[in-house]
Amino acid sequence: MPRASPSTNFRSMANTRSAAKRARQMPGRALRNRSVLSRLGSLQKRTATKSNAEDIRSLISALDKAAKRGIIHKNAANRRKARLDKLLAAMRGTPAA
């Protein structure tokens, strides 16, 4: 029998009403975060295989949105964006700043 992921299998006995509400909210948020991370991975993979400027710009935008919502860390998003900017500059033939 396959194991369920801990977030969906876990039933907490919350001590407070606010903790019970957090426990109810967590599965939906985890699902949303997972879908955003999956989309980021797909965009990253598409950029790695056939990188054109439009794909790179859409990935940078998605990274900004994910960082703004706290799905990925701000510094991680900035690091990835800097690497993409370098790639974009190399495609244009201009030096990256």
* pLDDT of the chain, 97 residues: tens digit per residue: 555 555 555 566 889 999 999 999 999 999 999 999 999 999 999 998 888 899 999 999 999 999 999 999 999 999 999 999 999 998 888 776 6
Class of domain 13-92: mainly alpha
- Domain positions in the chain are 13-92
CB 67 within 8 A of CB 73: yes
Nearest in space to 37 (alpha carbons), one of 1, 73, 75, 78: 73
pTM: 0.75
Provide the token pair at 29.
């948020």
